[in-house]
Amino acid sequence: MSGVFARLGRLIGRHPRLTVLVWLVLAVGGYGVAALGVHGGQSVFDRVSSGVPAVPGSQSKAADDLLAQVDQSGESLTLVLSGVSPSAAPVAAAMPAIRHDLAAVPGVVSVVDPLALPGGLTNPAAAPLVARDGKGFLVVVGLSPTLDAHAQQTALDAVQTLLQAVPAQLSGVAPGAHGIVGGPSLIVSDIHGQVERDLRTGEAFALPIALVAMVFVFGGFLAAGMPMAGALASIGVGLAALLGLTYLMDVDASTLDVVTALGIGLSIDYGLLVVSRFREEIHRLVDRDGGATTRRRRGDGTVATAIERTLATAGRTVTFSAVTVAVSIAGLLVFTPPILRSIGAASVAIVVVALATALTLVPALLVWTGRRLSRPSPVLRVPGLRAVMARTSDVDSSEGFFSRLTARVQRRPWWVIAGCVLVLGVIALPVRHLELRNSGTELLPAGSSQRTFIDQIAANYPAAQSAAVTVVAETSLSSATTWAGQLAALPDVAAVDAPRPAGSYVVIGLRPSSQDAGGAVARSVVTEVRALHPGFPLWVTGQAARAVDFTAALAARVWWVVGIVSLATLVLLFFMTGSVVIPVKALLTNALSLAAASGVLVWGFQDAHLSGVLDFIPVGGIESYVIALVLAFAFGLAMDYEVFLLSRVKELHDAGHPTEEAVRLGLQRSGRVITSAAAIIIVVFAGFVAGRLLIIKEVGFALAVAVLVDATLVRCLLVPATMTVLGRWNWWAPKPLKRLYEKAALTH
Mean pLDDT of the region 123-134? 91
536-570: per-residue pLDDT in tens? 999 999 999 999 999 999 999 999 999 999 998 89
Mean pLDDT of the region 68-83? 89
Confidence band of 499 (pLDDT split at 50, 70, 90):
very high
Whether residues 584 and 718 share a domain: the answer is: yes
pLDDT of residue 672: 80
Find the CATH number of the domain harbouring 680: 1.20.1640.10
- Report the DSSP beta bridge partners of residue 81: 137, 179
Count Cα neighbours of 621 within 13 Å in the Cβ-side half-sphere: 22
Asked if residue 146 belongs to a domain, the reply is: yes
Which DSSP state fits 381?
G
CA distance 79 to 141: 9
Mean pLDDT of the region 391-404? 66
Rounded to the nearest integer, the mean pLDDT of the chain is 86
CA distance 434 to 450: 29
Confidence band of 396 (pLDDT split at 50, 70, 90):
low
CA distance 700 to 436: 18
Using a pLDDT cut of 70, give the percent of the chain over it. 92
257-292: per-residue pLDDT in tens? 888 888 888 998 898 889 888 888 877 776 555 554
Whether residues 564 and 529 share a domain: the answer is: no
Number of other CB atoms surrounding residue 478 within 10 Å: 10
Asked if residue 193 belongs to a domain, the reply is: no
Number of other CB atoms surrounding residue 508 within 10 Å: 23
Residues, the chain: 748
Whether residues 634 and 671 share a domain: the answer is: yes
pLDDT of residue 159: 96
Asked if residue 272 belongs to a domain, the reply is: yes
Confidence band of 690 (pLDDT split at 50, 70, 90):
confident
Name the nearest CA neighbour of 51 among 633, 400, 377, 439: 439
pLDDT of residue 52: 76
Grouping H, G, I as helix, E, B as strand and the rest as coil, residue 29 is helix
- Where are any strands of DSSP class E within 175-287? 178-182
Alpha helices for 357-475 (secondary structure H):
362-369, 385-392, 401-411, 413-428, 449-460
563-622: per-residue pLDDT in tens? 999 998 898 888 888 899 999 999 999 999 999 999 999 999 999 999 988 888 888 889
Q: Which of 548, 579, 595 is the last residue of a domain?
A: 548
Asked if residue 479 belongs to a domain, the reply is: yes
Whether residues 460 and 493 share a domain: the answer is: yes
Whether residues 317 and 456 share a domain: the answer is: no
Using a pLDDT cut of 90, give the percent of the chain over it. 43
CA distance 1 to 572: 14
Q: Are strands 178-182 and 76-82 parallel, antiparallel or unpaired?
A: antiparallel
Terminal alpha carbon distance of the chain: 7
pLDDT at residue 296 greater than cutoff 50: no
pLDDT of residue 391: 54
Alpha helices for 602-623 (secondary structure H):
611-614
432-477: per-residue pLDDT in tens? 999 988 877 777 787 788 888 988 988 899 888 888 899 999 999 9
CA distance 370 to 282: 9
Tell me phi and psi for residue 262, to 5 degrees.
Answer: -65, -45
Find the CATH number of the domain harbouring 505: 3.30.70
Number of other CB atoms surrounding residue 107 within 10 Å: 20
- b/e sequence 249-259, b meaning 16+ C-beta within 10 Å: ebbbbbbbbbb
pTM above threshold 0.95: no
Whether residues 566 and 544 share a domain: the answer is: no
Grouping H, G, I as helix, E, B as strand and the rest as coil, residue 76 is strand
Residue 618 CB partners (closer than 8 Å, separation 6+) = 605, 606, 607, 608, 611
Whether residues 428 and 491 share a domain: the answer is: no
Name the nearest CA neighbour of 63 among 542, 543, 527: 542
CA distance 508 to 228: 56
CA distance 489 to 334: 40
Residue 15 CB partners (closer than 8 Å, separation 6+) = 364
Which DSSP state fits 375?
S
CB 664 within 8 A of CB 697: no
Which DSSP state fits 615?
T
Asked if residue 117 belongs to a domain, the reply is: yes
Asked if residue 396 belongs to a domain, the reply is: no
Confidence band of 670 (pLDDT split at 50, 70, 90):
confident
CB 376 within 8 A of CB 320: no
**Long-range contacts: 445-449, Cβ < 8 Å, 24+?**
445/194, 445/615, 445/616, 445/617, 445/692, 445/693, 445/694, 446/615, 446/616, 446/617, 448/190, 448/194, 448/692, 449/180, 449/182, 449/186, 449/190
Whether residues 101 and 12 share a domain: the answer is: no
Which DSSP state fits 252?
B
Confidence band of 394 (pLDDT split at 50, 70, 90):
low
Q: What angle do CA 358, 361, 365 make, to 5 degrees?
A: 115
Name the nearest CA neighbour of 670 among 397, 407, 420: 397
- Report the DSSP beta bridge partners of residue 538: 473
CB 141 within 8 A of CB 77: yes
Whether residues 265 and 372 share a domain: the answer is: yes
pLDDT of residue 747: 54
Q: What angle do CA 497, 498, 502 make, to 5 degrees?
A: 105
The number of domains in the chain is 4
Whether residues 162 and 304 share a domain: the answer is: no
Tell me phi and psi for residue 505, to 5 degrees.
Answer: -120, 170
Element (H, E) at 720: helix 719-726
Confidence band of 297 (pLDDT split at 50, 70, 90):
very low
pLDDT at residue 374 greater than cutoff 70: no
Secondary-structure breakdown of the chain: helix, strand, coil percentages, each rounded to the nearest 5: 70, 5, 20
CB 613 within 8 A of CB 600: no
pLDDT of residue 58: 93
Name the nearest CA neighbour of 266 among 340, 319, 310: 319
166-221: per-residue pLDDT in tens? 999 998 888 989 999 999 888 888 887 887 788 788 878 878 887 877 777 766 67
Name the nearest CA neighbour of 271 among 355, 349, 353: 355
pLDDT at residue 707 greater than cutoff 70: yes
CA distance 404 to 215: 25
Q: Are strands 622-623 and 436-437 parallel, antiparallel or unpaired?
A: parallel
Confidence band of 295 (pLDDT split at 50, 70, 90):
very low
Q: What angle do CA 470, 628, 356 make, to 5 degrees?
A: 130
pLDDT of residue 382: 57
Structural domain of 321? 1-52+219-381
Whether residues 359 and 251 share a domain: the answer is: yes
CA distance 549 to 336: 11
Number of other CB atoms surrounding residue 583 within 10 Å: 23
Asked if residue 643 belongs to a domain, the reply is: yes
- Angle formed by the axes of helices 413-428 and 719-726, nearest 10°: 140
Mean pLDDT of the region 510-534? 91
CA distance 251 to 245: 7
324-353: per-residue pLDDT in tens? 899 999 999 999 999 899 999 999 999 999
Q: What angle do CA 345, 348, 353 make, to 5 degrees?
A: 125
Name the nearest CA neighbour of 205 among 723, 574, 687: 687
CB 268 within 8 A of CB 230: yes
pLDDT of residue 294: 42
pLDDT of residue 596: 94
CA distance 364 to 307: 9
CB 141 within 8 A of CB 110: yes
Residue 624 CB partners (closer than 8 Å, separation 6+) = 53, 436, 437, 438, 547, 550, 551, 554
pLDDT of residue 378: 56
Mean pLDDT of the region 116-130? 90
Find the CATH number of the domain harbouring 169: 3.30.70.60
Asked if residue 388 belongs to a domain, the reply is: no
Whether residues 616 and 747 share a domain: the answer is: yes
- Report the DSSP beta bridge partners of residue 480: none
Alpha helices for 469-532 (secondary structure H):
477-488, 520-530
12-48: per-residue pLDDT in tens? 988 899 999 999 999 999 999 888 877 667 888 888 8
Confidence band of 293 (pLDDT split at 50, 70, 90):
very low
